[in-house]
Structure 1
Amino acid sequence: MPSTPPFIPTPLNVTDQMNRRVAVPLPPQRIVSLVPSQTELLFDLGLGSRVVGLTKFCIHPKEARSQATVIGGTKNFHFERIAELKPDLIIGNKEENYQAGIEQLAAQYPVWMSDIFTLDDSLRMMRQVGLLTGRSAQAEALAAEVARSFAELPPVAEPVSAAYFIWRQPYMVAAAGTFIDDLLPRAGFRNVFADRGRYPEIGADELARAAPQVILLSSEPYPFAAKHVAEFQVICPQARIEIVDGELFSWYGSRLRHSAAYFQELRYRLGITG
């Protein structure tokens, strides 16, 4: 009796969000994710069993790192470990990963890259990842849920001026050209550093001159906590200092399902009205 021929995935030629052409076997069976928010997305699309590798920062869902191999960080890959996993798809991101590492991987494996600046970019990423992995229906439902939750956020009468800090020593903020900057107005804020690019260092004098009504201290990547409030209060005595959930401002995968509701709660806490 003739043996059954091995399953050979059909390659799909796609363009990623960096306008790179990538030949992806359809459907991919062994996925390595180099970005925490996209790892969570893969699991929420029902692909957890296909995720064979992820980074040490991929903390959602909590079981992810116990069932997949940790391949290093987002900016320092263990290439030998990745090779042992024999991935047929690697998913990364332009900002969160590093060019030399991605180029080295792309020479051997299909590497699909996202490039996220806006909420619309994130919704396109979800749909494209769904197409790549054979989960288009699930991805479309997820993207529609996220889009609807933001559409239902009522506009505010007057956005509150704010500075969003991501780092300490030196102080660094999210400025123009970042995903955070796109979400801040949706949350009801006007970024006082919107005239600066990306993630600039900000001195105490510059912060005092900007005089934001609210200073938002993100829980990540720097773990701002209550003990840091006093130092900002000295710089801006009139400002309201608020510790915020950095994941809900910066993770551009399926965690966005919770962001709009969080922003509404934050508005209420700060007295920002429609």
Structure 2
Amino acid sequence: MIDQLGRRVAILFPPQRIVSLVPSQTELLFDLGLGERVVGVTKFCIHPPEARQAATVIGGTKNFDFDKITALKPDLIIGNKEENYQTGIEQLAAHYPVWLSDISDLPQALDMIRRVGFITGAEEKAEQVADEIAASFAALAAPEPPVSVAYFIWRKPYMAAASGTFIDDMLRRAGFRNVFAHLGRYPEVTPEQLAAAAPERIFLSSEPYPFQDKHLAEFQMLCPTAEIQLVDGELFSWYGSRLRRSAAYFQRLRA
């Protein structure tokens, strides 16, 4: 099998002992009806709620407990280029089949869903999920002109989602123009840069930094004319089956 990095991965088909190193892909596996085969997940795999009870928690996305993974005897490990760390992946790949996704836009997310379905023997269900997501986004009519927005993922220092990120692709499809699209990936942004960009709206994501109501006034002082809003980061950045809810959420945000 070929993963999204073009790596050839030898997988015993169908895999029966799967370790998932990425929360959004863990949720996808359960939604594909493969929950009983998922033996290992990360501490951040919060969806579905039973994932961390049904499987062994093998650490975080960037610090694996290799002894726990070894004890699980996985016949497939599923990870992601950005969310996991290269040295950890290389160490696992020396002993187990490790299939990696690489996702920066919706087509790549749909491709990942279909490929995960193929390598796990859940091809038909995965095709249904991918088709449902594709149809929901196709029906999402973007307003003209798009509304300018800044999307923040971190505080102290302020960090925004910029070009080359999955979040940036979601913003564009939702009808927003990212005021930091000229910057690379997840840049630090100064208060002066934010004021100069003058976005019409500012989105404060629920993850990875847990922005809350108490942070709204802080950004309002920096951009007095902007509309400041807390947003569901999972619906902007989880690229698995949760995308089935994203288009409708974006429609409500625009309204």
* TM-score bracket for this pair, using the shorter chain length: over 0.9
Gapped runs of 5+ residues in structure 1? 1-13, 269-274
Runs of 4 or more above 4 Å deviation: none
1:172 aligns with 2:159: yes
Aligned pairs for 1:20-169 (under 5 A) are 20-169=7-156
1:19 aligns with 2:24: no
Measured after TM superposition, the shift of residue 155 of structure 1 is 2.2
Secondary structure, in 3 states, of the residue corresponding to 2:144?
Answer: coil
- Give distance in 2, aligned partners of 1:78 and 1:155: 44
Measured after TM superposition, the shift of residue 158 of structure 1 is 1.1
What CA RMSD, in Å, does the superposition of the two structures yield over aligned residues? 0.4
Measured after TM superposition, the shift of residue 248 of structure 1 is 0.2
Larger Rg: 1
- Give distance in 2, aligned partners of 1:156 and 1:147: 19
Secondary structure, in 3 states, of the residue corresponding to 1:21?
Answer: coil
Instruction: Tell me the TM-score normalized by structure 1.
Output: 0.93
1:227 aligns with 2:214: yes
Q: Alignment identity in percent? A: 71
- Give distance in 1, aligned partners of 2:54 and 2:130: 26
2:151 alignment partner AA: Y
Please give the per-residue CA displacement for 1:8-62, whole angstroms capped at 9, x wherever unaligned.
xxxxxx1100111100110000000000000000000000000000000000000
Gapped runs of 5+ residues in structure 2? none
Please give the per-residue CA displacement for 1:112-146, whole angstroms capped at 9, x wherever unaligned.
00000100000000000000000000000000000
Residue-pair matches, total: 255
Instruction: Tell me the TM-score normalized by structure 2.
Output: 0.99
